[in-house]
Structure 1
């Protein structure tokens, strides 16, 4: 059989074909025939360790542990057969796990309710942590041949119905495929790859450690919780590392978490790989480093980091090394390992286990080569050599990783695996008709003839309560996910201690952040970002060609906000709101209108009031000198009416200033339209009167003046004004202007204005004023050269030119002006045209009346 192990040293992958090998091991004739081959080949091709541990019993439980770490170099030049030397470097944690298995078996053997009358034995192999070396021991156990490759021959050749072991995913995959065709159950205490949950491929595989999916998902939640967006990763070059980092990337996708680098450690080249990874960590910017690797590889990595003095990184540990006493107690690695936060296999206690360990002694276990080797390492003496021990050596006061049972994790998993196997055997061997004749007991199994297929069925249905009071069961070969969250903290003595800071139940994390001591030595959470989180009021802008967690922070534009840190985009404020100065909140827009309190409003109000006052003053002057020729010669009644209309024009502009309301919006346009029509009508009638007066002086035209007497003049003004009144009434009744918030103006202010619901009405009002003004201009232009020393038509012509120019310019200015400046443009046009009429028509007359009274005579006015 041993020559088949040579295939695995070159790498025998999956092994459905090894069913034949299993069958060979079960056929005595072939088995004997292979013994000669075994003797020759195993001396050169054997496993690295030449020791096993055997205890006879009614049922033998197989065990596989990687008790040694320092593997020998292998020559793969294929020119000759490589020779394996014994593996060295005894590891204390796996040794404790092995004795946890033995302790559990002895505890069950003393139990009167579990497997009564059945003694459990064991056969334990060391495969040195090398997956290619595990199949030989496995096949030896499954085939019942223990005398292979120089192993001690203490067993009777009975095949084991169940194997506890495989501390790595790769080994577990190989062994599960080998044992699958034989239906031999394999219970792993440390193989955690999610791939092993596939019951189609690994129907005979069970484990007492949760799937890695849960621990990686917990680590991903921690990274998101602490806002670690720029992380480095170091993984082992096996399924454990590659699967873990893949799950981590999937779980953090979309959360802005990036991996700056991924360094891979290979067991065969660990020193050079660890040195390379250490240099990468030193040169990179991430402050948080995830490590998914075996604790011996992590120890080498930390030693390399110490050499280059990199002690300021925050490490996040997987369960494979988060509780490693070798690293915690090493004075060198402490410099790097301070503050480690990790996911750990749940801790529990095994009553009586510490006393059992401390009572171990080689003199009482003469066949236990592993214990002898431990004794040599711990006490420096060999119980079986010339450097004999005194016999006084004892583990009672020894404090090391082996005797430390304060937080049993992997060892407790082994303990659970043994109890799961025992309960499955108990269920299988519990036969209610065992006392009947043999012919009626065909369906019952005996300890010496256990069929693995039947044991496999019972193992699937295991459900029991452990001696510690915990309920244990398998869910398709897995157990419910439970982890501890641990933190490596400094002590006053300068050492590190393991502190429990939380736990993981399935997908839920319960963490007490106040208990955590980070690598800085404080309780302040370590930061690890490529770019600092964008504050509120800004958004992320990814840098071209760089990971998504490397970005710039761009301030939000006006009218946009981001009220959270790390926002990917800015949100547009609603129409009636605007962003504040910091771009962190939408605030109501400032209500903007032309008010009496602002500079522009005060200026226009002053101009309007001044115009009204000057118009009143002119009215008083004309009233005081109403009998003088200048006043009487220019139709004093129309002059007074014109002054009243001008005053109304000045005053109507005040209605446009202030907060718009329903009535002010209606009144301002009506007052504006009617006042200006009244004003222009007076001018038009005055111009017609001048023309009629001069035309009546011609022969045969005396009756013309009769048609433009005082009554006709008043009637004409009223008629022309009534037309505008009718237009305004219809407009305001059908579709009047209403107050409205103008949100179209892009800014922090919202303009409250009178919205023209009907531009047709407003156009008719302006158009009618323009028609009268244009007609008046034409008439005045025709009368400008009539013989008169004081021809008023000239003044009307000039004033109408200014009037028309102002209102022609008003239209484009009104359309293009924003917000409240639209109202200001209209008020300016009203005031400008009113002042033009006031000064052009009445200023010359007031000048004569007040400053040149000698010209205010009939003789002077009649002269040519």
Structure 2
């Protein structure tokens, strides 16, 4: 049964081969029914590598039901002259492989290069043509000769890659694309035979974000083609920008180029977006740089010469290679001077430039691209009869590629050409690995050719996935599990010249294998910006920077990158540009005037070295000397009637307490310590209570003395030193008890107030218990009030025997001083609080001294005649 099936299959194959040989129209399709493949380059070999390139563009009219399909094709092709290096890279790689005895010995590699346009039907036809008989379009069948297409290179655009993969995945033929293929996950499932000679495209988007962060560009414009690829770019890029605190000013969608008569419509659509570009403050434009996008964008800029788009920083994705159509040679490229692109990593294989120098119009018989390339690159013609225009000249064939400007052709291998070069070597190494794995234990009589007679393309997948080698330029070539090249991107700075030439300077590297945060390395010194920036780093922000000392404040209704600058409040700083918030200084530091630095606070207290402390100390010493003088006078005239009349011992107690009150002012001056804080308020309270109780005792003594003069008065027994001493002692003991309770429960202690004053640390005595402090003051106020009341009612007694009137005035001064003390004390801070209390002590003590003792001194010194007994006992008439 098996033999019968095999014989029938063999007969079918022989029959079909005979039919194809004798009647070619049976298995071929008329090319007139399809859009033709315009250009190709074929070199036979034992094994073939297919390549679909987009080098020659044919402009189509819009389809219409009024005309036959064959009338859609225009006759004038346009050459993207720079793309001619792509097929040359494959030719050079195949040449090197065939000359290398260590790779596929005795096996010749060939290639079949076909040109396609962006239209899907042409790409489909070109793909099927690689799987058909050469020069005969027979889909899914090969006639005449056996063609072994082992792999196909191609995919100028993502949609071209998809169109090719629609067929190649059916046959499981390896497809190596040298352009980015964005939908990785979906593509991995749908196109399992696809390999990318470039890294993951989304990785370079993170590289763009890192680049924007490096130069602090937070306000940018986004430009992408208006199709599915542009949508995917924006769907990925916009969230990335938002997550990294970068805003976009606008999104410009360039129309997708389709047919010839739509070019004018494209320009009109772009001109409608003039206001977006004119009103934007963005200096940086991020462009999804597919070639159609860049061609239309350049067309737009060329047609809009009056649009002030100079002085922009263009950041372009890796698709762009600064290529130009031949008609764009006269277009100004100054706009893109200083542009930065994430270019596919490239290197220079040895001998490539020498190979290019040998290229001439008739250098290879099968090259179907050279004619259009040569004519459009050098602006000449091989048809002498068609030279009608004055500027046209005949092609001599001796023109040199190295004389062409860079946007038309480069002598150095570009990134895309380098990918094609590596793709050819990847296929060759996979075939070589397949040969070694399968036939290393066999000895083949006819050499290696028979080993590959039955090899199928799908058998190479295992070897491609596990393949790893170093190319002639020294770079490692290896695929990851997703079929992507394990490689990074070069950061390239483009420098243009007025003659249309340019140079590309490699200024950095984007490497995925590096640790997180170190993926992007840039040498800023190598970057040359657009001439309008005058060698200054370009800025691209929604508004001016917020300098140190200010923080960003959100603008209502605007994006988060647009903000106002609010000055930092007291005690807070911002030491960086565009701080989101001000930070508070440590407690022992304060902000400087610019609010951009925290500086240490200096300690403040009432010192002997400052004017206020000196003045108060001089006043205290002066009053102390005065009261000491008064005390000396009183002791000198202690036996005179005026001193003996009002209880001499109380007078001495009062004078000594006033002297001590003046001296206790020194406890308040100087840096507070533990001892001074304990003695400061308690000493003042006890001394003043003694002084006030002495005044009270003197007042009561005066009253009792006059009451005792009445006949039969019982008050006489209360008159004497015992009564006065008891009053002084009891009143002083009450105050001493309060102070003892204060010191035992919550005593005062040295403290630092860091918050009351912005620039100073107040060194002070913390009162411990504020309630006890005011109890001490309140008790003094009570004594003063009682003394004032008693003295007030005794003020009308005869003058010669009465000092109650002077006590009344002294208590009035005392009460006025201390009543004004409380609000003043509470409203001041720092050393001024201490100064207020010292002043109150001095003023109240001075009031007692002046009002009570100065009149007596006046009489003792200036009117001694009045200091006698007769005057004292004289009654007022």
TM range (shorter): 0.7 to 0.9
Q: Is the 8 A contact 1:169 1:239 kept in 2?
A: no
Equivalent in the alignment of 2:584: 572
Equivalent in the alignment of 1:284: 280
SS of the residue aligned with 2:870?
Answer: helix
Q: How does 1:706-745 map to 2 (within 5 A)?
A: 708-710=719-721, 713-714=724-725, 716-745=727-756
| Counterpart-to-counterpart distance in 2, 1:426 and 1:156 | 24
SS of the residue aligned with 2:493?
Answer: strand
| Counterpart-to-counterpart distance in 1, 2:363 and 2:549 | 75
1:788 offset after TM fit, Å? 6.3
1:416 offset after TM fit, Å? 0.8
Equivalent in the alignment of 2:483: 477
Equivalent in the alignment of 1:545: 557
Q: Is the 8 A contact 2:469 2:477 kept in 1?
A: yes
Q: Is the 8 A contact 1:212 1:244 kept in 2?
A: no
Q: Is the 8 A contact 1:197 1:478 kept in 2?
A: no
Equivalent in the alignment of 1:757: 768
1:569 offset after TM fit, Å? 0.7
1:286 offset after TM fit, Å? 2.2
| Counterpart-to-counterpart distance in 2, 1:844 and 1:404 | 114
1:715 offset after TM fit, Å? 5.5
Equivalent in the alignment of 2:430: 424
Equivalent in the alignment of 1:103: 92
Higher alpha-carbon deviation: 264-273 or 160-169: 264-273
SS of the residue aligned with 2:650?
Answer: helix
| Counterpart-to-counterpart distance in 2, 1:34 and 1:634 | 153
Q: Is the 8 A contact 1:144 1:159 kept in 2?
A: no
Pairing partner for 2:468 from 463, 467, 483 = 463
CA change 1:813–1:361 in 2 (3 A) is closer
Q: Is the 8 A contact 1:164 1:417 kept in 2?
A: yes
| Counterpart-to-counterpart distance in 1, 2:124 and 2:321 | 29
Kindly indicate whether residue 454 of structure 2 is the aligned counterpart of residue 449 of structure 1: yes
Equivalent in the alignment of 1:317: 316
Q: Is the 8 A contact 2:554 2:560 kept in 1?
A: yes
CA change 1:790–1:205 in 2 (3 A) is same
SS of the residue aligned with 2:653?
Answer: helix
Pairing partner for 1:500 from 506, 509, 515 = 506
Kindly indicate whether residue 415 of structure 2 is the aligned counterpart of residue 409 of structure 1: yes
Provide Cα deviations, 1:695-714, integer angstroms capped at 9, x if missing partner.
44345557x54554335544
| Counterpart-to-counterpart distance in 1, 2:552 and 2:394 | 72
Residues matched between the structures, number:
829
Provide Cα deviations, 1:836-864, integer angstroms capped at 9, x if missing partner.
32233223333433444444332232222
| Counterpart-to-counterpart distance in 2, 1:397 and 1:28 | 48
SS of the residue aligned with 2:541?
Answer: coil
Equivalent in the alignment of 2:672: 660
Please list every run of 5 or more consecutive structure 1 residues that lacks an aligned counterpart in the other structure.
1-24, 439-443
Pairing partner for 2:57 from 50, 69, 89 = 69
Q: Is the 8 A contact 1:561 1:584 kept in 2?
A: yes
Q: Is the 8 A contact 2:571 2:591 kept in 1?
A: yes
Q: Is the 8 A contact 1:68 1:129 kept in 2?
A: no
Equivalent in the alignment of 1:348: 347
Equivalent in the alignment of 2:197: 208
Equivalent in the alignment of 2:699: 687
Q: Is the 8 A contact 1:54 1:154 kept in 2?
A: no
Q: Is the 8 A contact 2:48 2:111 kept in 1?
A: yes
Q: Is the 8 A contact 2:667 2:680 kept in 1?
A: yes
Q: Is the 8 A contact 1:806 1:833 kept in 2?
A: yes
1:494 offset after TM fit, Å? 8.9
1:666 offset after TM fit, Å? 1.7
1:556 offset after TM fit, Å? 0.7
CA change 1:362–1:323 in 2 (3 A) is closer
Equivalent in the alignment of 1:829: 840
Higher alpha-carbon deviation: 277-286 or 687-696: 277-286
Kindly indicate whether residue 211 of structure 2 is the aligned counterpart of residue 222 of structure 1: yes
Provide Cα deviations, 1:405-459, integer angstroms capped at 9, x if missing partner.
3243221211111111122222234422785899xxxxx9953433343222222
Q: Is the 8 A contact 2:696 2:786 kept in 1?
A: yes
| Counterpart-to-counterpart distance in 2, 1:278 and 1:137 | 40
Kindly indicate whether residue 335 of structure 2 is the aligned counterpart of residue 336 of structure 1: yes
Kindly indicate whether residue 180 of structure 2 is the aligned counterpart of residue 169 of structure 1: no
Kindly indicate whether residue 73 of structure 2 is the aligned counterpart of residue 85 of structure 1: yes
Q: Is the 8 A contact 1:74 1:82 kept in 2?
A: no
Kindly indicate whether residue 257 of structure 2 is the aligned counterpart of residue 267 of structure 1: yes
| Counterpart-to-counterpart distance in 1, 2:691 and 2:386 | 136
Q: Is the 8 A contact 2:131 2:149 kept in 1?
A: yes
1:322 offset after TM fit, Å? 4.3
Provide Cα deviations, 1:100-137, integer angstroms capped at 9, x if missing partner.
22332233233333222333332222112334531222
1:331 offset after TM fit, Å? 5.2
Q: Is the 8 A contact 2:63 2:72 kept in 1?
A: no
What is the TM-score with the length of structure 1 in the denominator? 0.86
| Counterpart-to-counterpart distance in 2, 1:729 and 1:362 | 116
Equivalent in the alignment of 1:55: 43
Pairing partner for 2:403 from 389, 399, 403 = 399
SS of the residue aligned with 1:827?
Answer: helix
1:185 offset after TM fit, Å? 1.6
1:754 offset after TM fit, Å? 0.9
SS of the residue aligned with 1:840?
Answer: helix
Equivalent in the alignment of 1:533: 545
CA change 1:677–1:509 in 2 (3 A) is same
SS of the residue aligned with 1:253?
Answer: helix
SS of the residue aligned with 1:659?
Answer: coil
RMSD over equivalenced CA pairs, Å: 3.9
Provide Cα deviations, 1:279-327, integer angstroms capped at 9, x if missing partner.
7545533222222221534542442354646433232333333454779
Provide Cα deviations, 1:723-749, integer angstroms capped at 9, x if missing partner.
434443453355321111123415322
1:360 offset after TM fit, Å? 4.3
CA change 1:403–1:633 in 2 (3 A) is closer
| Counterpart-to-counterpart distance in 2, 1:637 and 1:328 | 122
| Counterpart-to-counterpart distance in 1, 2:722 and 2:559 | 91
SS of the residue aligned with 1:472?
Answer: strand
Higher alpha-carbon deviation: 444-453 or 296-305: 444-453
Equivalent in the alignment of 1:15: none
Pairing partner for 2:855 from 841, 844, 858 = 844
What is the TM-score with the length of structure 2 in the denominator? 0.84
| Counterpart-to-counterpart distance in 2, 1:686 and 1:715 | 12
Q: Is the 8 A contact 1:696 1:705 kept in 2?
A: yes
1:68 offset after TM fit, Å? 1.6
CA change 1:546–1:397 in 2 (3 A) is closer
Kindly indicate whether residue 655 of structure 2 is the aligned counterpart of residue 643 of structure 1: yes
1:667 offset after TM fit, Å? 1.9
Q: Is the 8 A contact 2:42 2:112 kept in 1?
A: yes
1:267 offset after TM fit, Å? 1.9
Equivalent in the alignment of 1:5: none
CA change 1:528–1:348 in 2 (3 A) is same
SS of the residue aligned with 1:369?
Answer: coil
Q: Is the 8 A contact 1:541 1:554 kept in 2?
A: yes
SS of the residue aligned with 2:189?
Answer: coil
Higher alpha-carbon deviation: 495-504 or 647-656: 495-504
Q: Is the 8 A contact 2:80 2:325 kept in 1?
A: no
